[in-house]
């Protein structure tokens, strides 16, 4: 059954043969990278070292080394947590929603999106852990028979849901990613010329042979994981939003939050995928696999989500005015739109709701330099959004005596930079050791190319 | 697959030539022991009646996992150590649903992966039984167990089905 439409152009350019696909994609795996790779790794390592130092201080001194206080109890750490977990929604959005919707154009992009997801969720998971103050007791949050009663956890608490949801999300996205790589590792194994490479990829490929029985179960498992992860991807960020929405803080206590957070997460995730894919295509010259049409499709999705984001921001303003609630009105109009944090509010609004509208123009969608900049701007804007939600609400609570203006300490900045270093390191290792594009999935769409566009080396389908 | 002691292998270069050959061979009642392809060929899976029951297994994991989770929540929150959270009933069923959903997903994921690993025999440090290294790259092969079929008939049929190469191979 073919779900392809005539509307979309060829998914892979250059009349590729099956073996060419393997060769092109495997070429960078394990090869000596360029100088840029070492330079990037050096910078990432510096950030990691700074992050490690910041964590050392956090563990030995405690979270008193941060600038969070009684009023702003959640500072950069929760901002960054929500930011990273949002970015971590791209892999699932790309792989799973598009897999379930049978969108074959995902095949060149899903691998990188999934890799990025795993790295981003790892970065995200760090923050709630260290925010506990005594991270070595983090297992207290798991419901297990204990010597404290046994006293069980509060199953009504979104913070507990969060712990379980993120653990499940990390597991499912990592296993989905790995499952997708098994046949590709087998391809590398069978084409390897050195003993070392053959041994390593033999282990990684888990004994894959490509038999019909393996493929049958492989696809079945992929669809099951995809189906349940689609539910999870919506519930993870909904749960993150209930961390806020179930409180009685103005600016947080709103029913808009779950969809607003989920859409925002997919927005930042897609933007990060665009950033990464532009780099991959440029550096590794994957122009035949990651075509202009791919970027066009991502840009169209971004412009659509940007409209939803703009609507959500305006809905917040409207509800604050229409509800007549004085605390809500004060917070939104005196402490977000104007006031100490007005810059962050407008940065969020302009980066997320205004600038991506440039993608309406075909010229801009086709200009990858501008698209690259816009994708970065979106992620900057999404960071401001989380800062805006978390810090503005806490810094001006009900009592003026509790009002403070929050700035992060150098330790908090260090932890954030450390996670960027971790993410960058993970992505650089991915560039070097893992096929960046799903080889077997691209091969399976070559036939669509041939059917719809008369390309490729396959004979016409006579079935 | 239970590996044949001696295998007859027909090699093809494209999905279409594989499908043509497969239709022809099945019409002659020559059902192959296995086929190997670089990517999943759905028509071939359908012809060979390969249908995974893993989604059913997942459904059962989810169903019984869900019951187990709710029972666990009930035991801990109502029987073992009831705590009053803001006047909610001990069995705060609606607010248990979110965590139940997440835990069902966790249970289904773990058990489905285990089921896949056991049924497809894909697990760490397994040594692959490779019949032809090219199948993970660009070749499609049809394999017969030489001991279970008439060797000459299979070879003749594979040749008629325009197999690029016909290999007879001793396997493990």
Give B144-160 pLDDT, tens digit per residue.
Answer: 888 888 888 888 888 88
> 3-class DSSP state for residue B10?
strand
Test B128 with A187 for CB contact under 8 angstroms: no
Angstrom distance (rounded) from CA A35 to CA A426:
18
Q: How many domains does chain B have?
A: 2
Co-location of B18 and B37 in the same domain: yes
Test A18 with B113 for CB contact under 8 angstroms: no
Return the H-helix or E-strand segment holding A222: helix A212-245
Identify the pLDDT of residue B172.
64
Q: How many angstroms separate the CA of residue B145 from the nearest CA in chain A? A: 14
Q: Which chain A residues are within 8 Å of B44, Cβ to Cβ?
A: 212
Q: What is the CATH number of domain A18-139+152-446?
A: 1.20.1630.10
Domain residue spans of chain A: 18-139+152-446
B159, part of any domain: yes
Co-location of B31 and B85 in the same domain: no
> 3-class DSSP state for residue A147?
coil
Co-location of B75 and B115 in the same domain: yes
Q: Which of A279, A272, A320 is nearest to A298 (CA)?
A: A272
Q: What is the DSSP letter of A461?
A: P
Q: How many angstroms separate the CA of residue B73 from the nearest CA in chain A? A: 8
Contact between A319 and A260 (Cβ < 8 Å)? no
Co-location of B113 and B136 in the same domain: no
Co-location of B86 and B39 in the same domain: no
Chain centre to alpha carbon of residue A232: 14
Q: Which chain B residues are within 8 Å of A225, Cβ to Cβ?
A: 109, 112-113
B1, part of any domain: no
Co-location of B156 and B132 in the same domain: yes
| Measured CA distances, A107 to A93, A98, A122, A209, A438 (Å) | 13, 9, 24, 21, 6
- Residue B4 clears pLDDT 90, i.e. is over it: no
Q: What is the DSSP letter of A355?
A: G
Angstrom distance (rounded) from CA A258 to CA B127:
46
Identify the pLDDT of residue A450.
61
Bond prior to A58 in cis (omega within 30° of 0): no
End-to-end CA distance of chain A: 11
- Residue B70 clears pLDDT 70, i.e. is over it: yes
Q: CA nearest A230 in B: which residue?
A: B105
Interface of B with A in 112-151 (CB under 8 A): 112-113, 115-116, 119-131, 133-138
Closest by Cβ to A18, choosing from B45, B113, B137: B137
Co-location of B114 and B147 in the same domain: no
Q: Which of A210, A240, A248, A446 to mutate to test the interface with B (most CBs of B within 10 A)?
A: A210
Q: How many angstroms separate the CA of residue B114 from the nearest CA in chain A? A: 10
Q: Residue A292 half-sphere exposure, CB side, CA atoms within 13 Å? A: 9
Q: Which of A260, A267, A258, A244 is nearest to A351 (CA)?
A: A267
Sign of torsion over alpha carbons A192, A196, A198, A203:
negative
Q: How many angstroms separate the CA of residue A310 from the nearest CA in chain B? A: 28
B87, part of any domain: yes
Q: Which chain B residues are within 8 Å of A440, Cβ to Cβ?
A: 38-40
pLDDT tens digits for A212-258? 899 999 989 988 988 888 888 888 889 999 999 988 888 898 889 99
Q: CA nearest A18 in B: which residue?
A: B138
Identify the pLDDT of residue A8.
60
- Domain boundary among the residues B104, B120, B136 is at B120
B113, part of any domain: yes
Test A463 with B108 for CB contact under 8 angstroms: no
By the CB < 8 Å criterion, does B77 face chain A? yes
A373: its two tokens: 């900049």
Identify the pLDDT of residue A3.
41
Tell me the pTM. Answer: 0.90
Interface of B with A in 8-27 (CB under 8 A): 14-17, 19-20
Test A210 with B37 for CB contact under 8 angstroms: yes
B42, part of any domain: yes
B99, part of any domain: yes
Contact between A126 and A416 (Cβ < 8 Å)? no
Q: Which chain B residues are within 8 Å of A229, Cβ to Cβ?
A: 105, 109
Identify the pLDDT of residue A462.
36
A243: its two tokens: 């961390």
Test A171 with B109 for CB contact under 8 angstroms: yes
Contact between A53 and A414 (Cβ < 8 Å)? yes
End-to-end CA distance of chain B: 12
pLDDT tens digits for A111-170? 888 899 999 999 999 999 999 888 898 888 888 888 888 888 888 888 899 889 999 999
Sign of torsion over alpha carbons A206, A207, A210, A214:
negative
| Measured CA distances, A336 to A195, A395, A448 (Å) | 61, 11, 50
Co-location of B32 and B58 in the same domain: no
Q: Which of B7, B17, B38, B145 to mutate to test the interface with A (most CBs of A within 10 A)?
A: B38
Co-location of B41 and B60 in the same domain: no
Q: For chain A, which ranges sit under pLDDT 70?
A: 1-9, 448-463
What's the mean pLDDT in B74-87? 89
Identify the pLDDT of residue B114.
94
Test B58 with A228 for CB contact under 8 angstroms: yes
Co-location of B66 and B113 in the same domain: yes
Co-location of B46 and B59 in the same domain: no
Co-location of B12 and B47 in the same domain: yes
Q: Which of A412, A408, A406, A409 is nearest to A55 (CA)?
A: A412
Structural domain including B159 reads 6-51+128-170
By the CB < 8 Å criterion, does B171 face chain A? no
A9: its two tokens: 């152009």
Residue A108 phi, psi (nearest 5): -85, -15
Identify the pLDDT of residue A463.
34
């Amino acid at each position: 059954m073919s779900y392809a439409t005539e509307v979309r152009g060829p998914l892979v350019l250059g009349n590729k043969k099956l073996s060419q696909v393997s060769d092109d994609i495997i070429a960078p795996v394990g090869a000596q990278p360029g100088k840029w790779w070492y330079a990037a790794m050096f910078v990432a390592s510096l950030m990691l070292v700074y992050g490690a130092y910041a964590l050392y201080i956090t563990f030995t001194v405690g979270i008193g080394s941060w600038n969070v206080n009684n009023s702003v109890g959640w500072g950069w750490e929760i901002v960054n947590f929500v930011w990273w977990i949002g970015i971590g929604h791209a892999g699932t959005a790309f792989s799973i929603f598009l897999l379930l919707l049978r969108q074959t154009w995902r095949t060149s992009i899903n691998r990188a999106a999934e890799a990025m997801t795993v790295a981003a969720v790892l970065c995200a998971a760090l923050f709630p852990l260290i925010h506990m103050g005594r991270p070595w007791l983090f297992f207290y949050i798991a419901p297990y028979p204990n010597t404290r009663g046994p006293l069980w956890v509060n199953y009504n608490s979104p913070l507990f849901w969060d712990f379980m949801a993120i653990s499940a999300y990390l597991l499912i996205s990592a296993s989905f990613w790995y499952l997708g790589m098994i046949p590709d590792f087998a391809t590398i194994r069978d084409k390897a010329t050195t003993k070392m490479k053959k041994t390593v990829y033999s282990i990684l490929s888990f004994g894959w042979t490509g038999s019909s029985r393996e493929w049958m179960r492989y696809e079945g498992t992929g669809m099951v994981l995809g189906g349940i992860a689609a539910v999870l991807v919506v519930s993870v960020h909904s749960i993150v939003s209930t961390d806020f929405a179930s409180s009685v803080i103005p600016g947080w206590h709103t029913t808009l939050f779950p969809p607003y957070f989920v859409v925002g997460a997919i927005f930042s995730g897609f933007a990060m995928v665009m950033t990464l894919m532009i780099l991959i295509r440029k550096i590794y010259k994957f122009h035949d696999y990651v075509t202009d049409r791919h970027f066009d499709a991502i840009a169209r999705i971004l412009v659509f989500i940007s409209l939803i984001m703009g609507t959500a921001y305006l809905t917040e303003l409207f509800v604050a005015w229409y509800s007549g609630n004085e605390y809500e009105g004060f917070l939104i109009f005196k402490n977000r739109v104007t006031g100490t944090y007005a810059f962050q509010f407008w940065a969020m609004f302009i980066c997320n709701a205004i600038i991506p509208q440039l993608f309406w123009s075909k010229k801009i969608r086709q200009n990858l330099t501008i698209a690259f900049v816009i994708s970065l701007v979106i992620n900057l804007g999404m960071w401001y959004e989380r800062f805006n939600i978390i810090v503005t609400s806490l810094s001006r609570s009900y009592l003026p005596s509790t009002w403070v203006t929050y700035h992060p300490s150098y330790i908090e900045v260090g932890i954030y930079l450390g996670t960027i270093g971790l993410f960058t390191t993970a992505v650089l290792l991915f560039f070097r050791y893992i096929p960046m594009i799903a080889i077997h999935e691209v091969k399976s769409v070559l036939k669509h190319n041939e059917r719809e566009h008369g390309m490729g080396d396959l004979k016409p389908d006579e079935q | 697959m239970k590996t044949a002691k001696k295998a007859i292998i027909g090699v093809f270069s494209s999905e279409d030539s594989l499908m043509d050959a497969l239709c022809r061979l099945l019409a002659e009642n020559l059902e192959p022991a296995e086929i190997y392809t670089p990517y999943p060929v759905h028509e071939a899976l359908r012809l060979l009646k390969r249908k995974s029951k893993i989604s059913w297994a997942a459904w059962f994991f989810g169903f019984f996992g869900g019951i187990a989770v709710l029972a666990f929540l009930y035991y801990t929150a109502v029987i073992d150590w009831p705590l009053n959270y803001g006047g909610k009933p001990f069995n705060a069923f609606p607010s248990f649903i979110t965590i139940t959903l997440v835990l069902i997903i966790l249970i289904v994921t773990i058990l489905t992966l285990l089921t896949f690993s056991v049924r497809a025999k894909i697990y760490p440090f397994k040594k692959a039984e490779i019949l032809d290294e090219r199948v993970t790259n660009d070749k499609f092969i049809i394999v017969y167990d030489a001991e279970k079929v008439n060797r000459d008939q299979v070879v003749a049929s594979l040749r008629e089905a325009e197999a690029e190469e016909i290999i007879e191979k001793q396997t493990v």
